[in-house]
């Protein structure tokens, strides 16, 4: 696993934003378009603020979430609302956004539509994951009955029902998240970093979902700051 530690969250977010933009630009130069997968929560908001002002051709970038809560877009818990308010602003307002809940209808029809859209996107250019205190990432929760499926299915996405967190979720699968040119797990805070290190010592993937993306054979880099 490649690890990048920084003295402050500001330094981390500046370096990570620059790295993301460079890789998106590389994708645009090579293929005429690029995709960026991001995560919800409070940790990425300062990163999003830096990305929003970056001067790259955002009109050629598609942005989507690694997971979403099964709530309306105007709900306080909506990751999409947070992304629209913090990332799809300024320069980045020109980007295309792919919703994981194109219509809040029944789960099966929504999931089918999202999987179809994901299959059309091809390999992602950049995937940025977060991590919860229970070692979950995206909405691949250790406590969810669907965790083994999420870590093994060839489907692009699945519905999950965590027992220790509110709301039904839709999450990209491990297979789909790993189908990327570059990925990182973005962590701020010493306690979370300790959780990440501990996660990588747990051999059972279902008990430590974030670890499958990190050491020793995971494809994602760890970017962190106190």
Residue 30 lies in a domain: yes
Model confidence at 122, in pLDDT bands (50, 70, 90)? Answer: very high
Q: What is the pLDDT of residue 39?
A: 98
**Site of tokens 């998240």:** 177
Contact indicator for 48, 86 with CB cutoff of 8 Å: yes
pTM: 0.97
Q: Which residues of 121-154 are buried (b: 16+ CB within 10 A; e: fewer)?
A: beebbbbbbbbbebbbbbbbbbebebbebbeeee
Number of structural domains (the chain) is: 1
Q: How far apart are CA 135 and CA 142, in angstroms?
A: 7
Residue 197 lies in a domain: no
Q: What is the pLDDT of residue 98?
A: 98
Residue 150 lies in a domain: yes
Residue 161 lies in a domain: yes
Q: What is the pLDDT of residue 150?
A: 98
Residue 225 lies in a domain: no
Residue 12 lies in a domain: yes
Residue 206 lies in a domain: no
Cβ atoms < 10 Å from Cβ of 189: 14
CATH number at residue 159: 3.40.50.1360
Q: Which domain holds residue 43?
A: 7-185
Residue 196 lies in a domain: no
């Amino acid at each position: 696993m490649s690890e990048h530690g920084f003295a402050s969250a500001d330094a981390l977010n500046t370096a990570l934003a620059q790295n993301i933009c460079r890789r998106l630009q590389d994708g645009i130069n090579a293929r005429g378009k690029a995709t960026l997968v991001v995560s919800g929560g409070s940790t990425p908001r300062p990163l999003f603020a830096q990305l929003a002002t970056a001067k790259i051709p955002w009109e050629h970038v598609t942005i989507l979430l690694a997971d979403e809560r099964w709530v309306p877009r105007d709900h306080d818990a909506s990751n999409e609302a947070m992304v629209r308010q913090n990332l799809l602003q300024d320069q980045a307002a020109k980007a295309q956004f792919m919703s994981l809940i194109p219509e809040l209808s029944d789960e099966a029809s929504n999931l089918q539509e999202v999987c179809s859209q994901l299959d059309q996107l091809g390999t992602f250019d950049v995937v940025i994951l977060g991590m919860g205190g229970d070692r979950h990432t995206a909405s691949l929760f250790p406590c969810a009955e669907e965790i083994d499926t999420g870590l093994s299915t060839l489907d692009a996405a699945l519905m999950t029902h965590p027992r220790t967190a509110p709301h039904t979720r839709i999450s990209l699968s491990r297979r789909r998240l790993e189908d990327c040119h570059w990925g990182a797990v973005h962590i701020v805070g010493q306690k979370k970093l300790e959780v990440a290190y501990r996660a990588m010592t747990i051999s059972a993937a279902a008990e430590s979902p974030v670890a499958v993306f990190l050491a020793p054979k995971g494809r994602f880099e760890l970017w962190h700051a106190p």
